[in-house]
C-alpha cells in the first residue's frame, strides 16, 4: 500500500511511520522522503512489499510553498531554532525579488545544514548539532526548476519552489535572504508535491485511520 499522508506540523516523518504501523499492524512501513518537524504537507507512506517503491518516490522532484521571515537567522534556519544573527529588513520590490529568484534557477551546489537528518559517518547531523558540534559536509548537487514570488509584506516573503531531490528549502531560504541583503529563516513550509503525488489528494492521519478501520471491521 502506498498512501499520500498530509503530515501535520510538529510530527517527525518517523512519527507518521509509527502511527501508520500502529493503525495497520503492518511490520514493514517506511516513508518516501523526510519532511522536517516544523513543516507540513505531502509525506508518502509505503507498507509491506510496496515499500520497494519508496526509493523511486524519494528520488522524485518536489514542490514546496514557503514563507521566509527577514531580519533574523536561526541556527536551524527555521522557526524552531534560536536566533544567531540579525540584520535590517530591506525595502524590496517585486522586481528585486524576481531578479534574485532567477539567479537561483538551474544546477547548483548546496551544503546540507547541521540541523538535518542526513547521516555522516553513520551519525545524523542534528545529533551533532545539538552538542554544538559542526563537521564538514560535502555539498549536494541540486537543481532548481522553478522559483516563484507570491507576496512580500511586513518583512515576510512567500514563494513556491520546484526542485530536485536533496534540496534543503531552509538553506535555500537563507541564501535568498542573504542575496537580498539581509538574513532570514523559514516560518512556514508546506510540501505540495512529490513526483505525481499532490497535496490536494493527501489525507490526514485521522482520515487514514477511519478509512483503514472501515476496511477491517
- Looking at the fold, whether 21 and 53 belong to one and the same domain comes out as yes
78 belongs to the catalytic site = no
Percent of the chain at pLDDT > 90 equals 84
- Evaluate whether 159 touches 51 at the Cβ level (below 8 Å): no
Q: How far apart are CA 173 and CA 55, in angstroms?
A: 26
- Looking at the fold, whether 99 and 190 belong to one and the same domain comes out as yes
Catalytic residue among 36, 50, 75, 201: 36
Positions of the chain with pLDDT lower than 50, given as ranges = none
Q: How far apart are CA 191 and CA 198, in angstroms?
A: 9
- Looking at the fold, whether 49 and 14 belong to one and the same domain comes out as yes
Question: Model's pTM, two decimal places?
Answer: 0.94
pLDDT tens for each residue of 79-92? 999 999 999 999 99
Question: Which residues span the domain enclosing 19?
Answer: 2-59+196-216
- Looking at the fold, whether 103 and 11 belong to one and the same domain comes out as no
In a domain, 43, yes or no: yes
In a domain, 133, yes or no: no
- Evaluate whether 29 touches 15 at the Cβ level (below 8 Å): no
- Looking at the fold, whether 21 and 87 belong to one and the same domain comes out as no
- Looking at the fold, whether 82 and 145 belong to one and the same domain comes out as yes
- Residue-level pLDDT at 133: 85
In a domain, 134, yes or no: no
Nearest to 33 by CA among 191, 147, 204: 191
- Residue-level pLDDT at 75: 93
- Residue-level pLDDT at 217: 63
Q: How many domains does the chain have?
A: 2
- Looking at the fold, whether 146 and 104 belong to one and the same domain comes out as yes
- Looking at the fold, whether 67 and 174 belong to one and the same domain comes out as yes
β partners of residue 63: 162, 193
pLDDT tens for each residue of 8-33? 999 999 999 999 999 999 999 999 98
- Looking at the fold, whether 33 and 89 belong to one and the same domain comes out as no
Q: What is the CATH number of the domain that holds 76?
A: 3.30.2350.10
Nearest to 86 by CA among 76, 68, 100, 74: 74
CA 177 centroid distance within chain? 17
Amino acid at each position: 500500500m502506498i498512501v499520500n499522508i498530509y503530515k501535520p506540523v510538529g510530527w517527525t516523518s518517523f512519527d507518521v511511520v509509527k502511527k501508520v504501523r500502529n493503525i495497520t499492524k503492518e511490520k514493514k512501513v517506511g516513508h518516501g522522503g523526510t519532511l522536517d518537524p516544523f513543516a507540513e504537507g505531502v509525506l508518502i507512506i509505503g507498507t509491506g512489499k510496496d515499500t520497494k517503491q519508496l526509493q523511486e518516490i524519494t528520488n522524485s522532484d518536489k514542490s514546496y510553498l514557503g514563507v521566509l521571515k527577514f531580519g533574523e537567522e536561526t541556527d536551524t534556519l527555521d522557526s524552531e531554532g534560536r536566533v544567531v544573527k540579525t540584520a535590517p529588513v530591506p525595502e524590496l520590490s517585486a522586481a528585486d525579488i524576481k531578479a534574485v529568484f532567477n539567479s537561483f534557477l538551474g544546477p547548483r551546489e548546496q551544503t546540507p545544514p547541521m540541523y538535518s537528518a542526513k547521516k555522516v559517518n553513520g551519525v545524523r547531523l542534528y545529533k551533532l548539532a545539538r552538542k554544538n558540534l559542526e563537521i564538514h559536509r560535502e555539498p549536494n548537487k541540486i537543481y532548481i526548476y522553478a522559483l516563484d514570488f507570491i507576496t512580500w509584506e511586513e518583512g515576510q516573503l512567500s514563494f513556491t519552489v520546484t526542485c530536485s531531490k536533496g534540496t534543503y528549502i531552509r538553506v535555500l531560504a537563507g541564501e535568498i535572504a542573504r542575496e537580498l541583503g539581509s538574513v532570514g529563516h523559514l516560518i512556514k513550509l508546506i510540501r505540495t508535491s512529490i513526483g505525481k503525488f499532490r497535496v490536494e489528494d493527501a489525507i490526514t492521519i485521522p482520515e487514514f485511520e477511519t478509512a483503514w478501520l472501515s476496511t477491517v471491521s
